Amino acid sequence: MNSYTDDFSILNFQRDLVDWYKMNQRDLPWRADQDPYKVWVSEIMLQQTRVDTVIPYFNRFLSLFPTLEALAEADEEKVLKAWEGLGYYSRVRNLQTAVKEVAEQYGGRVPDTPEEISKLKGVGPYTAGAILSIAYGVPEPAVDGNVMRVLSRILLIEEDIGKAKSRTLFEKAVRELISKEDPSSFNQALMELGALICTPKSPACLTCPVHEHCRAFEQGRQRELPVKEKKTKVRHVDIAALILWREDGKYLIHKRPKEGLLANLWEFPNVPVKKRGQSEIEDLKVFLEAEWGISAEIGDHISNLDHVFSHLKWDIQLFEGRCIYEIGDKDDLKWVTFEEMEAYPFPVSHQKIIKLAKEVAVL
């Protein structure tokens, strides 16, 4: 089978791409040095999240956990709090688990071979390639959707980038293209090109440093690529949530299970609704009594919120209520003031509820 890089001027492409990167790279905090721990943290944060959003989180995270050992030894709730708002919380739980493994089994030094680093929790082929190439100068591919989009156009690859088998094809192409002298700059240059020039909807082809090498540009097909089938439909779930207060000025919050969606984060009481617009109050009362032995007087509907995950959308009807009878704190159930809430990590949807709760506070 022919390679996509046949009849492709690899050395000239490397030179044009890397030269452009060295002249135009953004000043990003994780590029200050090539510390593998910092590269690792940044790459995990950048999954599913924009660079501008990540920068303040990265700086704060590194101020709290400046070394691999500091993160390994940190309390999980403190780590989740530092990640609060970034979403996809399994990323940081896996990161901390893997960091502990590095501290215990590798003497605190991030592994520098594909075989070892790929064994760590949450380190897939892309993250492994990014750390190895950027921090250690190992010529490994770091292929994500960004890189697949760029190479789909440059090499005119018409395979669906949403299919798992396509990644292998793109990794093979990067292995053939990557600079052996400076794999760190090469991989970062591909990422930078995708972020600044070869964007999803409006690629700036005329200012692209490698447009002379781009087969899609030559044929005027750059907007047709990459090929990607549409995502499956997002599932909707109707939820009733409750701001439940007590006479002493405290509010009820609950810790989610340690497995599954938003694991170990805190939230206000909530329950899936049987009949939207009809059964919310009754559903909440039954849930409180059955789950926690709490009786409540539930009042007004306050607001509607929604929150979209990659596969799921929550439509939240928010109510407020007063506790009539309760049995006290449990490990996963706390009565807290607004000030005390600040120590607990909440998902974005429930951070919004905190803001609304402060606006309607009756105490």
State whether 37 and 183 are in the same domain: yes
pLDDT at 333: 94
State whether 272 and 217 are in the same domain: no
State whether 197 and 294 are in the same domain: no
State whether 192 and 306 are in the same domain: no
CA gap 357, 251 in Å, rounded: 9
How do 235-245 and 312-325 pair as beta strands? parallel
Cα dihedral: 160, 165, 170, 176 (round 10): -150
DSSP string, 247-311: TTS-EEEEEPPSSSTTTT-EE--EEE-SSTTTSHHHHHHHHHHHHH--EEEEEEEEEEEEEE-SS
Residue 335 belongs to domain spanning: 235-362
Q: pLDDT (tens digit, 9 = 90+) per residue, 83-123?
A: 999 988 999 999 999 999 999 999 999 999 999 999 999 99
Q: pLDDT (tens digit, 9 = 90+) per residue, 59-69?
A: 999 999 999 99
State whether 64 and 194 are in the same domain: yes
Q: Based on the structure, what is the number of domains in the chain?
A: 2
State whether 197 and 239 are in the same domain: no
Instruction: Kindly state whether residue 244 falls inside one of the protein's structural domains.
Output: yes
Residue that terminates a domain, selected from 200, 224, 248: 224
State whether 149 and 259 are in the same domain: no
Full-model pTM: 0.85
pLDDT at 261: 92
CATH number of the domain that residue 177 is part of: 1.10.340.30
The one-letter amino acid at 20: W
Instruction: Kindly state whether residue 5 falls inside one of the protein's structural domains.
Output: no
Residue that terminates a domain, selected from 161, 191, 224: 224
Q: Catalytic residue at 73?
A: no
Other Cβ atoms within 10 Å of 214 Cβ, number: 21
Instruction: Kindly state whether residue 120 falls inside one of the protein's structural domains.
Output: yes
Identify the bridge partners of residue 314 per DSSP, sorted by sequence position: 237, 307
Residues of the chain with pLDDT under 50: 1, 363
CATH number of the domain that residue 326 is part of: 3.90.79.10
Instruction: Kindly state whether residue 213 falls inside one of the protein's structural domains.
Output: yes
Distance between first and last Cα of the chain? 73
Instruction: Kindly state whether residue 2 falls inside one of the protein's structural domains.
Output: no
Indicate which residue of 43, 171, 192, 280 is catalytic.
43
